Structure 1
Amino acid sequence: MNQLFSLEEMYLLANSFSRSSIFGLPAKSVLLVRDSSNMEFAYQALKNKGILNEQGEVTHAGAYAIRALEEYTRSEKYVQIQQVIFAFPKDTSELVFIVKIGKEEGYQLHRMSKVLVPQLLIKKLDLINREAMEDEELFLLKRQRIEQRQKLDNSLTQENLIDLRIFGVSNTLEHWIIFDVDEMLFTINTQTKEYYRASQYWLMKILFDTLEIPYKKEGVDRLAAR
C-alpha cells in the first residue's frame, strides 16, 4: 500500500487485533504524552484513506492493511535494511514490510512476493549494482588486519552504505555495515568488531539468505568452502 500512515494510525490499526506494540516503531506509550486530539485526527484520516467507512467499519482495503500489519507483528524474525523493516509471515512466500518515510513519523505498509524483492533492492541500494572485481570470484570474505581498520573507519560515510540488521523477537542477532572504498567492497560486523573485504557474491548471499529469497547456491557454496 502506498498510503502514508502516522504513528497514531498504525496503532489504531493494531488495536483492531489487540496489539500494543509494533516492532521498529516508537512505543505506544509515546502517544500518551501527545495531544489527545491526535487520535481523533488519526481516526478521521483512516476514513479519508478508505480504511474505514463513514460508519467506522473496516473496509476491504482496511482488512488488507490490518491483516498485513497483524502478520508483521507476529513475525519471529525481522530484517532492517536502511529505513525498511521486513517481517516473515508463516506459511507464505511473501514478505510484509514497513517503510519509514522522511524525518517525520510516516509509515508505509507493504506486502510483496519474495521473488520480487530483489527488484526493490536493486532500486534502493546502489551497491547491489556495482561490478564485481575479478578477484572477487575467489572469496566471500577476507578478514582485514588491525592496521587497515583505521583507514576504513576514516573512509566510512553515510553515502552509498548499507546498514543491515537482523533481529530476533527481543534481540539483535547480527549487524553489518557494508560500504565501498576505492571500488572495493568492505563490511564490518559491529558485534564482533571484525572488518572484512567482501565480494559481491557475499553481499548478494547475505541479502538473499536473510530475506529468505530462493536462489541457486552451488557456486556460492563453493566459495564459502574455500
Structure 2
Amino acid sequence: MKLQPVDISKTASVADIVFEALRKAIIEGDLKDGEPLRQDEIARLFNTSRIPVREAITMLEQQGLVTTQRYKGAVVASIAPDEVAEIFDFRALVEGTVIHAAVGRMSDESRRLARQCHEAFSSSTDPMAWGDLNRRFHYTLYQDSGLPYHLGIVNNALDRIDRYLRAQLMLSNGRARAHDEHLAILEACEAGRADLAADLTRRHILGAKTSLLDHLKRK
C-alpha cells in the first residue's frame, strides 16, 4: 500500500491525520479504484489503533472517496462515466458563478499569484505536479469571490474526481489545451471581464469533461 506513514501515537487528532493521508493518496492516484483499505495495516503504518482509522474511513465515505463492499470491507470508490459527467456539469455551473463573482473583487495580489500559477503550470515538466498546479491556478482566481460555501462545494467535487483530472491532463494534448484555456481565463480576469471569464471557465470544464469521458470509454 503506497502511503507515507507517520508515527502519530501521541497526536491529538489522529483520525484527521490518517484521513488527510488517505485522502491525498486517493486523489493523487497512489491508491487505485477498488483497492482495499485494511484497517490493521493502516493502523500499523501510523502506529495507532484501529479506532481513528475507522473514523478516518468513515469521513472518506462521507466524501464519496471510499465505499464499503460486502466481503471486502472499505475500498477506494470507483466512479462511473455518468457520475463523472454529472460532476463536471455541476462544476461548470458553480465555478462559472464563483469566478463571475470574483472578477470584480479580485485583488492585484490574486491576479499576480494566478499569473505565477499559470507560468508554473506552463513550465513544469513533472506530470505529477500538473494536477496540483492546475487546482492552485483555479482556486487563486476563485478565492476573492466572497462565496465560501460555493468554494467548499467546489473543493469536495474536485476531491471526488481529482485523480481523473490528473489523468486527463496527461493525455496527448490535455496539458497544452489547459495552458491555452487557462491563459484566456486569466486575461479575461485581468481585464475585469466577468461575463467572459465565466463563459470561458464553463467551456474549459465542459471541454475537459468530454476529453476525460472519451479517455474512460477507450479504457
So what's the TM-score if we normalise by structure 1? 0.33
Choose between structure 1 and 2: higher strand proportion.
Answer: 1
So what's the TM-score if we normalise by structure 2? 0.33
Higher relative contact order (CA 8 A, sep 6+): 2
